[in-house]
Amino acid sequence: MLDLVPLPELEAHLRSRRMPRRSAEVPFLDRPIGPGMPWPARLSPRQKFPLPFPSSTAPPHLVMASLIVDPSMPSTAAYDVALLDTAPVRPSKLAPQSLFVIERGTDASKEAVLRYIRPGAQHYYLVTDLTLDTPADWEPLLLSVSELAAAIKARVRWIGSNWLGTERDRDPHTQRGRFLYDPISS
């Protein structure tokens, strides 16, 4: 029988049947982020998630976060987890297509939400999916550049669905989601 199968086809079949390579795992933040939720201070000691791209090690600045649905951000409503890059972000390097986790509000009611950030002549603005095309509705950020850098908690690198089923479902090659930014470059 093996004489009837071309060698490249047989090799491809054998490659597909090999054990899947393990991917590095990153810890979750200990609480979800979204409207009404402050930026978590700690990582979960038990909950981890495989990187959504093949890698043998996880950079130390990557974390996973559970997401609370934000009515102002319908583009993220189908997703419940995100891979976040917590490396410091310089406000001068803000890309308009990037989605950020920004902490806003007063000390008593801080919340960490997903938003786009747009520079203006006098200050920066927070932009939602619903206000993307209406600059008059953008939320002004009355912060200095250093305060803005401290308020930006992370850049969203990947957003997807939480596959907490079988190990096969947690394979990074089968995870559904989308990369918002190259996961390993700055």
Let me know if 47 is exposed, middle or buried by CB neighbors in 10 A (0-12, 13-18, 19+).
Answer: middle
Q: Cβ of 179: how many Cβ atoms within 10 Å?
A: 14
Long-range CB contacts (within 8 A, 24+) of 94-98: 94/119, 94/124, 95/181, 97/180, 98/155, 98/156, 98/180, 98/181
Low-confidence stretches of the chain (pLDDT beneath 70): 1-2, 16, 18-22, 162-186
What is the model's pLDDT at position 129? 94
Q: Which residues pair with 81 in a beta bridge?
A: 66, 160
What value does the mean pLDDT of the chain take? 82
Within-domain flag for 185 = no
pLDDT at position 22 is: 62
Q: How far apart are CA 61 and CA 164, in angstroms?
A: 23
Residue % of the chain over a pLDDT of 70: 82
The answer to whether position 184 is within a domain reads: no
Q: What is the pLDDT of residue 184?
A: 45
Q: Is residue 123 part of a domain?
A: yes
CB 72 within 8 A of CB 129: yes
Within a domain: 59: yes
pLDDT digits (tens, 9 = 90+) for 107-160: 788 999 999 999 988 889 999 999 999 999 999 999 988 999 999 999 999 888
Number of domains in the chain: 1
> With a threshold of 0.95, does the pTM exceed it?
no
Quote the DSSP letter at residue 129: T
Neighbouring C-beta atoms of residue 74, cutoff 10 Å = 12
Establish if 132 belongs to a structural domain: yes
Overall residue count recorded for the chain in this entry? 186
Provide the residue range defining the domain that includes 55: 2-179
Q: What is the pLDDT of residue 174?
A: 46
Three-class SS state of 161? coil
